[in-house]
Structure 1
Amino acid sequence: MIKFIYRVEVVKDLKLLPNIKYTQTHSCYYLPYSLENKQVLFTFFNDRGYFVDYKKLQIQKPIKRERLPNYYRVDREKLSAGDKKNLWKYVHYLRGKRYSESTVKTYYQFVLMLVDYTDKPVEELNYRDFEIFLEQVIAKGNYSISSHRQCVSAIKHFSDLFAIDPIDKDLNMLRPKKTRNLPTVLSRNEVIRILQVTKNLKHRAVLGLIYSSGLRIGELLSLQLQEIDVDRKQIFIKSGKGKKDRTVILAESILPLIYNYLNTYTPKKYFVEGQHGGAYSPEAIRSFLKKSCKHAGIVKRVTPHTLRHSFATHMLEDGVDLRYIQTLLGHSKPETTMIYTHVTQRDLMNIQSPLDRVVNQLRGTDNHKPKVGLSGEF
């Protein structure tokens, strides 16, 4: 970050720097951190007669770098012409089945890895090749269970297209069982704290709309202005997950924030757009949500989908019928929505601990010891 007392001539000089950017959130200019950029900054300002304290450019603590998952990487240039042709056939096959571009991209990436790893012509692939690939690349690479299941689906379509290994073996046997982890849920106060500490107006509008309407991040990013009906307090979700349309609620309390955001940023087509127009980045949303959680003092792992989980759980705690919540969330099966019954606090908070029960009984039956506590003697 480059901070200074505002002077027009300094700003003009700064804009001459290559790759310089401005952040409204922190109200300053910045460059990516690198030793090279540190030297560039020092030389740039020094040559223009500015005093630069080089000590301020030193990093006191080493930057912690997150350990990346052991993902498999493919050099596409090394693929044979036949492999490239088969991969394009596969992409057209998936599009012919009317899968979303997101699904096509995901399946393509997995099959690309498979083709590169096995290094065999398609006609020589067999069931055992699939097993080894899943064991050595997907499982050992610490891919999530959901990614593992997606990979099996991708391989299954690839096998169907090229009639690989026609012997009677079910590829579904390679699919691991779904994990049944309970979703992380924020309290209502935690949601409010996140919104309060999010100073950037666009960021606050994005997070507020995801929570207040229970949107998936992909639905928020593809939401167009014409699909927001302010008069009816509704949002029309077009081609959501599973290519299903649905209508969700638009909270009355978020309207002032929405109006303020729209008047300030004036997006042209999508509700939220990038700096130069067009669709916004999901990585950007995850990034500023993570920062907001840190500022709000929330230590649990929070993603944009956590806001959707919280929306559903809070609705259930307020007594909204499960069938209505299922419709608002766009779940095709009631079993998917039922998971929120396991995390709602509405009924759990009314259950009395057996320890409370026995202590209360002791307090009620022993007239000589009306005060029964566990911090001292009974």
Structure 2
Amino acid sequence: MNWSAKLLTHKNEKRIAVYFDKNVEFIARIKQIDGARWSQSLVAWHLPDTEENRGRFKIKPASPSLPSVEGIEQIEKFKQWLRSKRYSESTLSTYSDALKSFFVFYREKPIAQINNEDVIIYNNEYILKNNLSASYQNQLTNALKLYFATIRETKIEIDKIHRPKRSKVLPNVLSKEEVKLILEAHTNSKHKTMLSLIYSCGLRCGELVALQPVHIDSKRNIVLLKNAKGKKDRIVPLSPKILKLLRDYYALYKPKTYLFEGQFAGKPYDSRSLQLILKQALVKVNIKKPVTLHWLRHSYATHLLESGTDLRYIQELLGHNSSKTTEIYTHVSTKSIQQIKSPFDDL
């Protein structure tokens, strides 16, 4: 399996980010490492920068090599352009790091002379030779396309920069029975309500912790998600059962700014602590699968599809730009598959 690892600073901590194509066994192994966490913004697992972890992921000492003076200037201009377009700091960091790697490789070549053939050479001589993952190559492609689209003097034909072939990985889905066990595992009102809200509304972890009490509209039975992924607002229906849970929780905890707050009033609940709450629930109900919070969102979408909800509505509820993203759930829905009779039964 292809994977790559690199040193970075994430939320003011020195970390090692590990990039790889989705693999359940590899994820389960990474989860066993102390301090391992998933980052939605990095789209990678990351762990503490220790000598043991460096050895484990074959991290070599950082190369002192830098891009040319022109390359450094262009990276800085690119950062300014990204900021002016209000890209997130994590995207800015990811794209500028990828561009830096490319410019280090072509340190001796004027940027205006770089062409599409050079991109292919870089993919073969750097990414493939160093066994870097397809997901990292895809990030580089995003960075190059965006960078070369913003400068005029270039030999690059942006539309001809190709992406690595995507592996067709199906989303992980739980049965309704498994979801029920997980949601009822905790007696703590806050823990139970947070996990239940993620499943009942198909929320991302970041969307849940960003919720404020004013975003719950009990009169219209909806939840307003502000500045969700892609800086888009959307609304999702609010189940009457969840509304009762929320009212009981609110009466008990009386949050000040965010709907779910951690140790400090006015501060959002820590997403890492929320992952831990899910892990504790899995232990309590003896579910051995490497379930993450995103599995609850996948399960929400699949269960909606199996109950007859139109795919177009599911796309809106999940906040997907493209219907193709939502169509992946048709491949994990078992409603039609279960009706198929195996020829084995007739033997």
Common topology (TM > 0.5): yes
CA distance in 1, matches of 2:125, 2:273: 32
Q: Which has the larger radius of gyration?
A: 1
User: Relative to structure 1, is the Cα distance of residues 261 and 104 closer, same or farther in structure 2, using a 3 angstrom cutoff?
Assistant: farther
CA distance in 2, matches of 1:272, 1:248: 18
Match 2:325 to one of 310, 313, 336 = 336
1:252 is the counterpart of 2:237: no
Using the TM superposition, give the Cα deviation of residue 245 of structure 1 relative to its aligned residue in structure 2, in angstroms.
Answer: 2.0
Does structure 1 conserve the Cα–Cα contact (< 8 Å) formed by 2:226 and 2:232?
Answer: yes
Partner of 1:238: helix, strand, or coil?
strand
**1:340-351 correspondence to structure 2 within 5 Å:** 340-351=329-340
More strand by percentage? 2
**1:279-290 correspondence to structure 2 within 5 Å:** 279-290=268-279
Higher relative contact order (CA 8 A, sep 6+): 2
The one-letter amino acid paired with 1:210 is: I
Does structure 2 conserve the Cα–Cα contact (< 8 Å) formed by 1:205 and 1:261?
Answer: yes
CA distance in 2, matches of 1:189, 1:142: 41
User: Relative to structure 1, is the Cα distance of residues 71 and 95 closer, same or farther in structure 2, using a 3 angstrom cutoff?
Assistant: farther
Partner of 2:184: helix, strand, or coil?
helix
Higher alpha-carbon deviation: 233-242 or 142-151: 142-151
User: Relative to structure 1, is the Cα distance of residues 131 and 295 closer, same or farther in structure 2, using a 3 angstrom cutoff?
Assistant: farther
User: Relative to structure 1, is the Cα distance of residues 109 and 285 closer, same or farther in structure 2, using a 3 angstrom cutoff?
Assistant: farther
Using the TM superposition, give the Cα deviation of residue 235 of structure 1 relative to its aligned residue in structure 2, in angstroms.
Answer: 0.6
Does structure 2 conserve the Cα–Cα contact (< 8 Å) formed by 1:73 and 1:113?
Answer: no
Using the TM superposition, give the Cα deviation of residue 220 of structure 1 relative to its aligned residue in structure 2, in angstroms.
Answer: 1.9
The one-letter amino acid paired with 2:236 is: V
Give the corresponding residue for 2:281.
Answer: 292
The one-letter amino acid paired with 1:228 is: I
Partner of 1:337: helix, strand, or coil?
helix
Structure 1 stretches of 5 or more lacking a match?
1-32, 34-63, 360-378
User: Relative to structure 1, is the Cα distance of residues 65 and 75 closer, same or farther in structure 2, using a 3 angstrom cutoff?
Assistant: closer
Q: TM-score, normalised by structure 2?
A: 0.70
Match 2:292 to one of 284, 292, 303 = 303
Partner of 2:169: helix, strand, or coil?
coil
* Aligned-residue identity in percent: 39
- Residue by residue, what CA displacement relative to the aligned partner does 1:115-162 show, whole Å, maximum 9, x if unpaired? 556556864883566445545665566665444322211122233445
Does structure 2 conserve the Cα–Cα contact (< 8 Å) formed by 1:74 and 1:116?
Answer: no
Q: How many residue pairs are counted as aligned between the two chains? A: 295
User: Relative to structure 1, is the Cα distance of residues 167 and 241 closer, same or farther in structure 2, using a 3 angstrom cutoff?
Assistant: closer
Q: TM-score, normalised by structure 1?
A: 0.65
CA distance in 1, matches of 2:172, 2:241: 24
Using the TM superposition, give the Cα deviation of residue 216 of structure 1 relative to its aligned residue in structure 2, in angstroms.
Answer: 1.8
Using the TM superposition, give the Cα deviation of residue 296 of structure 1 relative to its aligned residue in structure 2, in angstroms.
Answer: 2.7
Partner of 2:304: helix, strand, or coil?
helix
1:159 is the counterpart of 2:148: yes
Using the TM superposition, give the Cα deviation of residue 313 of structure 1 relative to its aligned residue in structure 2, in angstroms.
Answer: 0.7
Structure 2 stretches of 5 or more lacking a match?
1-33, 35-51
User: Relative to structure 1, is the Cα distance of residues 154 and 290 closer, same or farther in structure 2, using a 3 angstrom cutoff?
Assistant: farther
The one-letter amino acid paired with 2:330 is: T
